[in-house]
């Protein structure tokens, strides 16, 4: 299916690792141009840029801290300066940082700053160009917004707010035909998830098997590529009449009975 994304321009926050990397790769495969705003400048990030730009310079990295409103403005300004348009935004950057009730108010506020404010900032600064292109916004939320997890108040609050903003923006932006949707991953194997397993469990492989048994469809984790395919579809005009939706891509983890064999 041709998603009609060739030469369209998308900002992907945190687009060089994990789910964000999967989204960047899928957009490039569809012929789109991608601007990544991220703090990551490590070898893996540089290798990704080298790989994806081997034929054409389709991916541009802007290093900086998305908690800084001025950096969010700069990401938008540099995107327009380089490509003269913005067709969509994928708000993806964030981290499940385990800042719960016991960690206290400063930790909670820092967690919300890490996970929420830049979602608003990027869309705010990009709005004039999204109006021009009748663009699309996809917010990467989390099943934690629906299920809770325990011990991660800041992350859960941020993810819940992202779902609320998805519906709020979908209404506010109706006059401009800008569509806004959210994708809710559950258990997705990324480098960060692998690190969490390794650092918190004596037998990471056993813990992974335990988690997979609770995922109804095929008893396996969702892949970053599967999340990316859903996101890119929502960005495209193939989903031209879809807005205000929360889409759980999770093998039935949240909405089906986990006791199903």
Active site residues: 155
Phi, psi of 99, rounded to the nearest 5 degrees: -100, 95
DSSP, res 221: P
Mapping DSSP to helix (H, G, I), strand (E, B) and coil, where does residue 137 land?
A: strand
CB 9 within 8 Å of CB 87: yes
9's tokens: 């321009």
User: Looking up tokens 């960690």, which residue turns up?
Assistant: 103
Phi, psi of 146, rounded to the nearest 5 degrees: -100, -30
Pairwise CA distance, residues 35 & 122, whole Å:
12
CB 116 within 8 Å of CB 72: no
Phi, psi of 217, rounded to the nearest 5 degrees: -85, 105
């Amino acid at each position: 299916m041709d998603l009609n994304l060739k030469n369209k321009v998308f900002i992907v926050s945190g687009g060089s690792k994990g789910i964000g990397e999967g989204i960047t790769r899928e957009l490039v495969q569809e012929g789109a141009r991608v601007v990544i705003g991220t703090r990551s400048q490590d070898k893996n990030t540089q290798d990704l840029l080298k790989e994806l730009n081997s034929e054409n310079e389709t991916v541009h990295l802007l290093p900086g801290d998305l908690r800084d409103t001025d950096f969010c403005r700069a990401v938008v300004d540099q995107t327009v300066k380089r490509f003269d348009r913005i067709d969509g935004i994928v708000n993806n950057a964030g981290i499940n940082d385990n800042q719960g009730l016991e960690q206290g108010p400063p930790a909670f506020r820092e967690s919300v700053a890490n996970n929420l404010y830049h979602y608003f900032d990027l869309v705010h600064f990009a709005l004039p160009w999204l109006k021009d292109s009748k663009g699309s916004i996809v917010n990467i939320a989390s099943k934690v917004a629906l299920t809770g997890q325990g011990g991660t108040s800041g992350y859960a609050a941020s993810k819940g707010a992202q779902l609320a903003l998805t519906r709020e923006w979908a209404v506010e932006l109706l006059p401009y035909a800008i569509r806004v949707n959210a994708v809710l991953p559950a258990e997705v194997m990324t480098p960060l998830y692998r690190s969490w397993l390794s650092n918190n469990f004596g037998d990471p492989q056993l813990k992974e098997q335990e988690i997979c048994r609770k995922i109804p469809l095929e008893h396996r984790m969702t892949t970053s590529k599967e999340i990316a395919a859903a996101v890119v579809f929502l960005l495209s005009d193939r989903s031209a009449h879809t807005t205000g939706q929360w889409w759980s891509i999770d093998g039935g983890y949240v909405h089906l009975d986990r006791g199903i064999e």
